[in-house]
Amino acid sequence: MQSRSTAVWSMDGMDDVLLAKHQERYGATGKLFRAPGRVNLIGEHTDYTGGFVMPMAIGFHTSAVVSPRHDHRMVFYSQNYREEVSLEPNDLMKGRRDHWSDYPAGVAWSLGQEEIEFGGFNMTLSGNVPLGAGLSSSASVEVATVMAILNLAGKGLPLEKIATLCRRAENGYVGAKSGIMDQFVVAGAVAHRAMMLDCRSLEFDLLPLPENVRVVIVNSMVKHAVATGEYGSRRDEVEAGQEVLRHERTGIDLLRDATLADLESCREKMSPASFHRCRHIITENSRVQKAREALLAGDVKGFGDLMVAAHASLRDDFAASCSEIDSLVEIALRHPACVGARITGGGFGGCTVNIVQVSAADNFVAMVRNEYRQATGIDAECFICEPADGALELATKGGKA
Ligand code: GLA
């Protein structure tokens, strides 16, 4: 079930419309591929130093309808932006244009880097993943695009390859220094399960969430963008700290290998900012592992407490929260049915993720919306979610959720 405080979405209906629009515009029956958005339950800013994350897919999607062309052009039409972009293969070498089409074009570029051959195509894209909300609208576009192009090329790739290809599109073409989490879960998630991913080995566990709780996403409506500013500067601070640890201590390749004692011993050798960012990541990796144990033991309260601690760490050590988000977390934790609440995604705005007793989820949404409006004057959007299928599962089910 997925409900939205302001509108009810039916993707199946939207997909039929999209197929019809594609037919109308390109005179061909296309094939449709869908990739969801995601929410991260715990494990923030740990992915790009080989750590642990625990995201799940959510019931918002990007759909890509594709049909072949007789030449080598790649034509992308965005139903959301009502705009068409037509590219020659050589255009991909010119790099990004700071435009929505960078995401699908980046995927085509990344496939080329892998020497995967494909012919020209027309692609119609449409999605309802909220933009700039930290719910992986970008990864959703990338994964839907790669699924469509691979199908056209008659090729199948394993999950790790799909995620790595899409991440390279984002890092190497779009210019966002993101990790592997979003692309991996958007491609590989399974309904009714959270995914705990080891971002170094890419091994993962699919974990059940207790049936008596729901995941409630609250959008602060404060926009963030991974491609710009703060995300990149945090990552630079983390990498500078990681470099010191690598140099000073034996056996440390990635921050994931370091303990708090290692970090403490190197405190004077790094900037205070690097020290705090690394401390967040080291403690967060341990929280994700404990969160896995809590889920396996059916300990929802323990899981919620770890989320609350994760929020404090992202706010205080990683300095990636903002006043609106902090206010949403405080409001949420005042509700008796809320077990845990924290910021989710890249930070600096976007959404909170909350674990709430199912019987009180609607009441929770009403209370949070009301108190947030009083505190900030902003109308928050709330989504009551359960873990959804990723793109690979959706494809095996013929595109139907
Ligand atoms: C963004 C990035 C991810 C990850 C998160 C923070 O969503 O795309 O790779 O780093 O931020 O956990």
Please check whether residues 88 and 6 belong to one and the same domain. Answer: yes
Cα(295) to centroid of ligand 1, in Å? 22
The Cα–Cα gap between 107 and 137 comes to: 14
Please check whether residues 297 and 199 belong to one and the same domain. Answer: no
244 in a structural domain: yes
Please check whether residues 254 and 339 belong to one and the same domain. Answer: yes
Adjacent-strand bridge partners of 66? 31, 123
397 in a structural domain: no
Q: State how far the alpha carbon of 48 is from the alpha carbons of 51, 177, 256, 276, 316, in Å.
A: 7, 9, 10, 16, 20
The Cα–Cα gap between 224 and 280 comes to: 20
Please check whether residues 149 and 255 belong to one and the same domain. Answer: no
The answer to whether 85 and 76 have CB atoms below 8 angstroms apart is yes
Please check whether residues 166 and 50 belong to one and the same domain. Answer: yes
Please check whether residues 98 and 224 belong to one and the same domain. Answer: no
Identify the active-site residue in 15, 47, 102, 182.
182
Q: Is 346 in the pocket of ligand 1 (CB under 6 A)?
A: yes
Interacting residues of 276 by C-beta distance below 8 A, sequence separation 6+: 316, 317, 318, 319
Q: CATH number of the domain that 145 lies in?
A: 3.30.230.10
Please check whether residues 270 and 364 belong to one and the same domain. Answer: yes
Please check whether residues 230 and 195 belong to one and the same domain. Answer: no
How much is the pLDDT for 33? 97
Asked if 182 is an active-site residue, the reply is: yes
Q: CATH number of the domain that 245 lies in?
A: 3.30.70.890
- Claim: this prediction has a pTM higher than 0.85: yes
Give the up-direction half-sphere exposure of residue 2: CA atoms within 13 A in the CB hemisphere.
25
398 in a structural domain: no
How much is the pLDDT for 226? 55
Q: Is 142 in the pocket of ligand 1 (CB under 6 A)?
A: no
pLDDT, tens digit, for every residue of 18-35? 999 999 999 999 999 999
- Domain final residue pick, 185, 208, 231: 208
Q: Is 48 in the pocket of ligand 1 (CB under 6 A)?
A: yes
392 in a structural domain: no
How much is the pLDDT for 11? 54
Please check whether residues 198 and 138 belong to one and the same domain. Answer: yes
- Domain final residue pick, 180, 208, 236: 208
The Cα–Cα gap between 54 and 38 comes to: 10
Please check whether residues 227 and 204 belong to one and the same domain. Answer: no
How much is the pLDDT for 14? 84
400 in a structural domain: no
- Domain final residue pick, 208, 225, 245: 208
Tally the domains of the chain.
Answer: 2
> What range does the domain containing 59 cover?
2-208
Please check whether residues 378 and 363 belong to one and the same domain. Answer: yes
- pLDDT below 50 — which residues of the chain? 1-10, 227, 399-401
How much is the pLDDT for 397? 82
pLDDT, tens digit, for every residue of 255-312? 999 999 999 999 999 999 999 999 999 999 999 999 999 999 999 999 999 999 999 9
Please check whether residues 75 and 154 belong to one and the same domain. Answer: yes
